[in-house]
Chains A and B, each alone.
Chain A
Amino acid sequence: MLVALALTLWAIYCTYDGLGPFLIYAQRPLIAGSVAGLIVGHPLLGLLIGATLELAALGVYTYGGATIPDYQTGAIVGTALAAGAAGETSAQVAIGLGVGLPAAILLSALDPVGKIITTALVHRADGYAADGNARGLALIHWVSLVPWVAVRAIPTFLAALAASGGLVKDITASIPAGFVQGMTLAGSLLPAVGFALLLGMMELSRYWYLLLIGFVAFAYLHLPLLGIALVGVAVAMLFVTLKRDEPAPAVPEVPEESTVDARLTKQDLRRVFRRYFWSSQISWNYERMQALGFAYSMEPVLRRLYPEKADYVAGLQRHLQFFNTSVLVGGPLILGSSVALEEAGTPKSAASTKIALMGPMAGIGDTVVFALYNSIVFTMGASWALQGNWLGPAFAAVMVLVPYALVRRWQFGFAYREGKRLAGHLAAGALARVAQGATVLGFVVLGGFIPSIVKVVTTLTYRQTTTVQGQPVTQAVAIQDRLDELVPFLLPVLVTAGVYLLTAKARLRPVWVIAIVVVAGVTLGWLGWFAPSAPAKS
């Protein structure tokens, strides 16, 4: 019961973390699972289950509010049930994945429920805004967190409670060894799904050859993942630098800086940023998306600037209009420019700049954050976690905590200082360069990640009769040895390519692709034809 409560609290924090502060990206399965493992007293299980789900979900983030599988709950629930299961670690992990994956997919059905409730709540916020009632507005904003949290915490609590009984042990005691073998293989194939989804989001036809750099670095030169990432950084810098040597697009004229008497105090600015940092999208809803979070963040500035109630109310309503962008890269920039333009006494251009920026910044921010930076950081973290190393989740958490906090603060300050000149800076093509550099880095790194993380070898052999000193000798020859002589890591590459074709060309839904990979993995592993790694040579 205590454990179930602790897991529920953890689930609540994970959900909140992914809606506001993004301190450690706790809703990612690597983090959610690893800490769940600590809570249930089986840290290794949490690491292995969290990391496997993480790799299957690379690049799977919510774009513009689309519902995705609930891998957070999958990782927590899977770990909790695995800890209650009978057998060795490999059997427990097999059960954890066998429960966690379907749970993640099925529970995604609850996600819209939470978002529908917050949609109803935002209409109450409209009423408070019309009255100029800041307290009411804040209350609705924070109360909106409840439905978001409930649809994840309640299933977690129920599953954790079920896991604490002896029933799980009884059911799982009779799991055949072949299934465990099969599920282990399926687990080591699942990262291919994540990589394939990621490749499907990137410009493969334009940059495919960059994959070769990473592949050669790993497969032939045996560089560790960090080494491959450093090679990737160098190649990305090269691309971006070469591009800069091209004639730059004409930078449009910077508008005259209007003289603004600073009416906002440092404390006002800090308060705005703090509100955005800690709660940017806790009241996310289908109709207005992040609007209430934005209005709540702007409120201290509006109160300072508009002593007349009518102006203040108009300000709140202005910022309660539909808003959605990337909250890590983009959101703070837009917030800073909105504050500057409101202070400059140009509320009209505050509103129009916001609208102009939110779409493009969502496109750029989502790409850089989800498809590129996070994918690289979490792949490295998960690969270490799969070796049972605590550095894995710790590395991912630190690489989220520090850079994202700094980059958000910088954006806000930069946009506020630059005010109207911000547009000129953004127009110079800097954003496009950042996105391109990150794409190049992503491809190089993926080329190395795929063979190092998708693990599969064949254990099949064939009989070969050769003549040794006039005597016919029949030997069993491992097919894998022949394959390795041809091209190292051929099978992982083929599996990833096959999964990519299923997702990108055959256009199967990710859920079906995951099902196919799991069924194929369990079958082939059970039959003993394939395994994650070669059996020890006798």
Chain B
Amino acid sequence: MAGAHVRIDNRLIHGQVTVAWTRRLGVRRLVVCNDDVAADELQRMLLPQAARGLPTDVLTIAETLETTAGADVMILAKDPEDAFRLVDGGLRPDTVNVGNVAPRPGTAYTMVTRSIAVTADEADAYRKLAAAGVPLVTQLMPHDKPAEFVPLLDRKGL
């Protein structure tokens, strides 16, 4: 069975996801996966409403690993570390697409693409992900060309 689509996006559910990606991938369910978000009552209530009618779960990483996630599921991971923990826990996604990772103030980051900031720790997480044999690309919108992510890290010396 083909695996789920994983998108790393610190903005979780927003226009790019609901308008472009869910329809393009033909997914029938969204899973927002992050321990902090799952513990936040407000976000747990609001995120499903933003999904435009698509069934949406807000889960911790452990809970996500317990659900069966096939090709009709899109998992939104908030950061690369979360994505790695999913793969480490046995999830075999179809691809991991790095969407938006905004810089966090107070960290030493490098902008790898216009929408992706990477710190040294995050670069490790991305490399571990790729080393686990998961196709790791960045493709902001469906009509953009997907680009292999690790060579982009290499180019920035991360």
A residues touching B (Cβ–Cβ < 8 Å)? 63-66, 112, 115-116, 119, 200-201, 203, 206, 252, 286-289, 317, 320-322, 324, 326, 352-353, 356-364, 366-367, 370-371, 423, 426-427, 429, 431-432, 435-436, 439, 504, 507, 509-510
Contact between chains at B40 and A356 (CB < 8 Å)? yes
Given A326-B15, A363-B50, A431-B46, 9 additional A-B pairs, CB 8 A = A63-B141, A360-B50, A363-B13, A366-B18, A423-B41, A426-B46, A432-B49, A435-B49, A507-B142
Contact check: which of A116, A320, A324 meets B11 at CB < 8 Å?
Answer: A324
Q: A63-B19, A359-B12, A362-B15 are in contact. Are A287 and B103 (CB under 8 A)?
A: yes
B69-105 contact mask (Cβ, 8 Å, vs A): 1 or 0: 0000000000000000000000000000000101111
20 contacts between A and B (CB under 8 A): A63-B14, A63-B20, A64-B14, A64-B15, A286-B111, A288-B102, A289-B102, A322-B103, A322-B104, A326-B15, A356-B46, A358-B11, A359-B12, A359-B14, A363-B52, A367-B52, A426-B46, A426-B49, A431-B49, A436-B53
Contact between chains at A366 and B19 (CB < 8 Å)? yes
Q: How far is the CA of A439 from the CA of B53 in the complex (A)?
A: 10
Q: A63-B16, A360-B49, A363-B17 are in contact. Are A287 and B117 (CB under 8 A)?
A: yes
Contact between chains at B19 and A203 (CB < 8 Å)? no
Q: A206-B53, A287-B103, A324-B11 are in contact. Are A360 and B140 (CB under 8 A)?
A: no
Size category, B interface: 35 or more
Residue of A nearest to B20 (CB): A63
Contact between chains at B53 and A203 (CB < 8 Å)? yes
Contact between chains at A423 and B15 (CB < 8 Å)? no
Q: How far is the CA of A191 from the CA of B51 in the complex (A)?
A: 28
Contacts of A435 in B (CB 8 A): 49, 52-53
Contacts of B142 in A (CB 8 A): 507
Q: How far is the CA of A280 from the CA of B47 in the complex (A)?
A: 24
Contacts of A320 in B (CB 8 A): 105
Contacts of B51 in A (CB 8 A): 363
Contacts of B18 in A (CB 8 A): 363, 366-367
Which of B47, B53, B104 is packed against the most chain A CB atoms within 10 Å? B53
Smallest CB-CB A-B distances: 9 pairs: A363-B50, A360-B50, A366-B15, A322-B102, A63-B15, A427-B45, A286-B114, A362-B14, A360-B46
Q: A324-B11, A432-B49 are in contact. Are A371 and B19 (CB under 8 A)?
A: yes
Q: How far is the CA of A373 from the CA of B15 in the complex (A)?
A: 15
A380 to chain B, nearest CB (A): 22
Which positions 130-154 of chain B face chain A at CB distance < 8 Å? 140-143
Q: How far is the CA of A241 from the CA of B155 in the complex (A)?
A: 55
Contact check: which of A288, A357, A367, A439 meets B46 at CB < 8 Å?
Answer: A357
Residue of B nearest to A431 (CB): B49
Q: A287-B117, A362-B14, A363-B17 are in contact. Are A356 and B52 (CB under 8 A)?
A: no
Q: How far is the CA of A359 from the CA of B16 in the complex (A)?
A: 10
Q: How far is the CA of A439 from the CA of B43 in the complex (A)?
A: 23
Q: How far is the CA of A21 from the CA of B111 in the complex (A)?
A: 30
Which of A287, A322, A360, A362 is packed against the most chain B CB atoms within 10 Å? A360
A227 to chain B, nearest CB (A): 27
Q: Does B156 contact A (CB under 8 A)?
A: no
Contact between chains at B140 and A66 (CB < 8 Å)? yes
Q: How far is the CA of A206 from the CA of B26 in the complex (A)?
A: 13
Q: A64-B14, A371-B19, A507-B142 are in contact. Are A361 and B50 (CB under 8 A)?
A: yes
Contacts of A326 in B (CB 8 A): 15
Q: How far is the CA of A486 from the CA of B117 in the complex (A)?
A: 58
A74 to chain B, nearest CB (A): 19
B150 to chain A, nearest CB (A): 22
Contacts of A429 in B (CB 8 A): 49
Contacts of A287 in B (CB 8 A): 102-103, 111, 117
Q: Does B42 contact A (CB under 8 A)?
A: yes
Residue of B nearest to A365 (CB): B15
B1-23 contact mask (Cβ, 8 Å, vs A): 1 or 0: 00000000001111111111001
Contact check: which of B16, B50, B52, B143 meets A64 at CB < 8 Å?
Answer: B16
Q: How far is the CA of A407 from the CA of B11 in the complex (A)?
A: 24
Contact between chains at A64 and B100 (CB < 8 Å)? yes
Contacts of B102 in A (CB 8 A): 287-289, 322
Contacts of B47 in A (CB 8 A): 359-360
Which positions 106-136 of chain B face chain A at CB distance < 8 Å? 111, 114-115, 117
Contact between chains at A321 and B105 (CB < 8 Å)? yes
Q: How far is the CA of A507 from the CA of B141 in the complex (A)?
A: 12
Contact between chains at B24 and A426 (CB < 8 Å)? no
A96 to chain B, nearest CB (A): 26
Residue of A nearest to B41 (CB): A252
Contacts of B41 in A (CB 8 A): 252, 423
Contacts of A63 in B (CB 8 A): 14-16, 19-20, 141
Q: How far is the CA of A115 from the CA of B114 in the complex (A)?
A: 10
Contact between chains at A200 and B13 (CB < 8 Å)? no
Q: How far is the CA of A63 from the CA of B1 in the complex (A)?
A: 32
B158 to chain A, nearest CB (A): 17
Which of B12, B18, B51, B111 is packed against the most chain A CB atoms within 10 Å? B18
Which of B13, B15, B104 is packed against the most chain A CB atoms within 10 Å? B15
B36-76 contact mask (Cβ, 8 Å, vs A): 1 or 0: 00001111011111111100000000000000000000000
